[in-house]
Structure 1
C-alpha cells in the first residue's frame, strides 16, 4: 500500500543510475508506479533488460541506458536518450556506487581510485550533464545516495567514506549554487540494507567472513534492517513538491543507527574489534 497519491509524478521523468537492482530498482519501481517515466542507467545491459521487463509488466514507462558513470560520453548519451523519450530530466538520482572491504593500510591506490571514480566523479559527471537542462527549465531535483554520516568513520571502507563525504560536499554546494534556478539538491543515507549489491561488496576481499547483515540489526533502534523500499519512500518525498522548501539536506533513513549513543549505553563492553564498532554502517547504495 502506497503512502502517496497515485499520480504524484505524472508527466515527470526520472533518471536513476545503478537502477537495475537493489535500492536503485526499488526507487525506479516507486517513481514509475506513481506516474513517472523512468530511465535506468547501469553498466550491465542484461540486468537493465531484466529490470525493464519487470517494470513494464507493472505498467511503468521505462527506458534503459547502458552507461558507466565514469565515462562522460556515455553519460551524455543517457541524458540525450531521456530528453528524446520524455522531453525533460525532472529528477536525477545518483545511486550508482562501488564498494568492497579493504583494510586502509593495505588498500591500493587503484582500489581507492575505482570507488572514488564511480561514487564521486560519477555523481559529478551525471549531475553536470543534466543541470544545464534543469537550469533552462528553471526546475529540477538532484538526489544523491550516500552512506550514513561518513564523517563518523566507515572502517574498512575508507574509499567509500572519502567518496561519499565528497558527495555530501557537492550536495550542499550545489544546493547553494543552483537554488536560484529552482533546482533542489538533497541526499539520502540508507541504513544497513541487505541488497544483492551491498552483500557482494561486503564479501569481496574477505572470504573468511560470509556476508551477513544480521549482526547489525541489534544496533538499530527500530530493531530491524532497512529495506530498499524504505529509501524509495524517502526519495519519493524528497523529490516531490511536498519537499519544495527542502534543499541541501542529508536525510538518514537508517532506523536511528546514526544517532549518537553514550558509551555507557553501548552493549559491547570494552575492547570491541574495529570491524564491529558501532560507527560501522554497511554499504547500502551499491
Structure 2
C-alpha cells in the first residue's frame, strides 16, 4: 500500500524502537526507514534482531540492533548510548516492548501481573528517562534550532472500559497513558519534546490477535461489533506513527491516538437496523398514552 506521506518526511532523523524486531514495532521501523529515518531496534532475542536488521538493510535502510531488556536500566542506558554512538544523534523514541497473555484475574499470579507492569510501564518510563539527555533541545547532538525530540508510547484501548482476562495489560497501559500525559506536560514545557501515544485496535497481521483471539474462539458475531467491518493492519499503525513523529503532527502533544476503526466505542447490536424505526414508533406511541411519572392506577 502506498504511503500518503512524502518519502523524505523523516529524512535525517534517528529512531530507536523497543520491540522493533517483530509485529507492529517492526512495521513502524520499516516505514520510518522508508521515509528517511535511520533505525535502531532493541529486543531480547538476538536471532529476531538479526533477522529484522537484515530485512531493513536489504531495503536500503540504515539499521542496527541491540540486545537488551527494557526492565533493566543498564540495558536501557547501554542501548540509548550505543544508538547515539552509532548514528551521532537520537530524535525519536518508540516504546513498543510489551507482554500479554489471556488469563482470568483469579488465575493471574502477582508475579505475572508484575512482569507485565515491569515490561510495559516501568520499561516505558526507563527508556524515556535514559533517552532524555539526547532528545531534549540543547541536548547532546541536538542544536537549539532543531527543537526537541519525539516520544511515542504504544498503548491499547483495553482500559477505556474493561476487558475480559486482561486486567494486567489494562492496568499497565493505563499507566503508560498517564506517563504520556505527564511527560508531555513536563518535557514539552521544559525541553520542547513532544510525547504522544498510539492505541491500536485488533491488527489482523500482528501477533496480538493470534494470542488474544485465536481460531479456537468462536467469533461468528465479530462483524456486529466492528464499525468498519474489518481488522486493521500494521501499516495503519505505522502511518499514525509517521504522522505523530513528523512535522505533520508538530502541534500534537500529550494525546493517545486511537487507531482501531472505532471498535472500542462499539457494543453488540441488540436490535436489527430495519426494526429500529418500527419499535421506536411503538415506544413513542405508548409514551404519549401513559404520562411519564404517573402510576397507571391513578389514570
SS in 2 for 1:258: helix
Asked whether the 8 Å contact 1:216–1:225 carries over to 2, the reply is no
Deviations 1:116-153 (A, max 9, x none): 11000110111111012222235011000011151311
In structure 2, relative to structure 1, the CA distance for the partners of 1:153 and 1:38 (3 Å cut) is same
Following TM superposition, by how much is the alpha carbon of 1:200 offset from its aligned partner in structure 2, in angstroms? 5.3
Following TM superposition, by how much is the alpha carbon of 1:219 offset from its aligned partner in structure 2, in angstroms? 2.0
Aligned mates of 1:249, 1:265 — CA distance in 2: 35
Following TM superposition, by how much is the alpha carbon of 1:266 offset from its aligned partner in structure 2, in angstroms? 9.0
Structure 1 partner of 2:203: 193
Mapped pair 1:247 → 2:266: no
Structure 1 partner of 2:86: 85
Following TM superposition, by how much is the alpha carbon of 1:251 offset from its aligned partner in structure 2, in angstroms? 0.6
TM value normalised by structure 1? 0.86
In structure 2, relative to structure 1, the CA distance for the partners of 1:160 and 1:176 (3 Å cut) is same
In structure 2, relative to structure 1, the CA distance for the partners of 1:93 and 1:115 (3 Å cut) is same
Choose the corresponding residue for 1:154, options 129, 140, 163: 163
Aligned residues: 263
Deviations 1:203-262 (A, max 9, x none): 7xx9xx737888645422111101111100000001111111100111110011022559
In structure 2, relative to structure 1, the CA distance for the partners of 1:237 and 1:186 (3 Å cut) is same
RMSD value, Cα:
2.2
Structure 1 residues without counterparts, runs of 5 or longer = 268-286
TM value normalised by structure 2? 0.82
Q: Counterparts in 2 of 1:127-142, with a 5 A limit?
A: 127-135=128-136, 136=139, 137=142, 138-142=147-151
Structure 2 residues without counterparts, runs of 5 or longer = 274-299
Structure 1 partner of 2:35: 34
Following TM superposition, by how much is the alpha carbon of 1:104 offset from its aligned partner in structure 2, in angstroms? 0.6
Aligned mates of 2:270, 2:188 — CA distance in 1: 43
Aligned mates of 1:41, 1:114 — CA distance in 2: 18
Q: Counterparts in 2 of 1:110-189, with a 5 A limit?
A: 110-135=111-136, 136=139, 137=142, 138-148=147-157, 150-180=159-189, 181-189=191-199
Following TM superposition, by how much is the alpha carbon of 1:105 offset from its aligned partner in structure 2, in angstroms? 1.6
In structure 2, relative to structure 1, the CA distance for the partners of 1:213 and 1:132 (3 Å cut) is farther
Structure 2 partner of 1:274: none
Structure 2 partner of 1:234: 240
SS in 2 for 1:144: strand
Deviations 1:56-89 (A, max 9, x none): 1110100101111001111111101110111111
In structure 2, relative to structure 1, the CA distance for the partners of 1:164 and 1:265 (3 Å cut) is farther
Structure 1 partner of 2:279: none
Q: Which has the larger radius of gyration?
A: 2
After alignment, is 154-163 or 131-140 more displaced?
131-140
